[in-house]
Amino acid sequence: MNIEENETYERTCKYLDGISDTIAKYGFKTKNVNDFYHEEYYLTVIVTIAKYNDGKWWIHVSYAHLDKIPRYEIGILVKKVFIGDDRRSISVLPSIDEHINLHSNCLHMFSILDSNEDCLPDFRIKLSDRTYTI
């Protein structure tokens, strides 16, 4: 394991330790250090903290069903548990030339680890005094 892999592993473990109560509260069981499953939803989740080309540390959450692509509601649950309601996250649909997926039913979600920095512009459109849409 090189220095960067070691730091990735240590940051991932520290992050998951910090949310372990939430993970258990929502019924996820640990398969491995960063690998989880939910029996009721037949769902697997893998979480990694890694530094990407922008030099920032990101939370990367992969989630999948064995036989189908997860529904939107499952994505909301995964975000709540593994990223948190207080953070924005993004899902990436790359160009066909860049698309590589080792599991055909797997979706990916990313969020900047430093919660003080936002990963997205505000795409909301104001409909009324208190109502927004995307």
Q: For the chain, how many structural domains are there in total?
A: 1
What percent of the chain is predicted at pLDDT more than 90? 60
Q: What is the pTM of this model?
A: 0.85
pLDDT tens for each residue of 31-72? 999 999 999 999 999 999 999 888 889 999 999 999 999 999
Dihedral, CA atoms, 107, 113, 116, 119, nearest 10 degrees?
Answer: -40
Query: Is the dihedral angle over the CA atoms 13, 63, 117, 84 positive or is it negative?
Result: negative
Q: Is 87 exposed, middle or buried (0-12, 13-18, 19+ CB in 10 A)?
A: middle
Cβ contact 15:57 at 8 Å: no
Angle at 87 between CA 52 and CA 5, to 5 degrees: 30
- Distance, in Å, from the CA atom of 28 to the CA atom of 11, rounded to the nearest integer, reads 20
CA 103 to chain centroid, in Å, comes to 16
